[in-house]
Amino acid sequence: RFFSTWTVDDAVVDISDLTPFEQAALRAAARIPPGEVRSYSWVATQIGRPKAARAVGRVMARNPLPFLFPCHRVVDSSGDLHNYYYGVEMKARLLEMEGYRG
């Protein structure tokens, strides 16, 4: 239930050491509602860089604050849950806790 009521807007987070691209990608991930997923391409398009899906993937892989910027909600275009730093099982469990039924 924590994930369904809390947002990154509730915290003061300094990510100024990241590039503008990285900041934008993480902020876009933070706008994905709990229990839902979006693709790397969706994030790239949201930040005005529709051809940068792979770069978005690299940002998510190096996410310094994964519980503030929920990179577990970002999946590949087929919906697969691979490539999560803490393992695919953890990614699936986090999504399940949020109510995702993919």
Residues classed as catalytic: 71
* DSSP 8-state assignment for residue 13: -
Maximum pairwise Cα distance, the chain: 35
Task: Give the Cα separation of 100 and 54 in Å (integer).
Answer: 24
The answer for 82, left when phi > 0, alpha when psi is -120 to 50, beta otherwise, is: beta
Both tokens of 33, joined, read: 């509602």
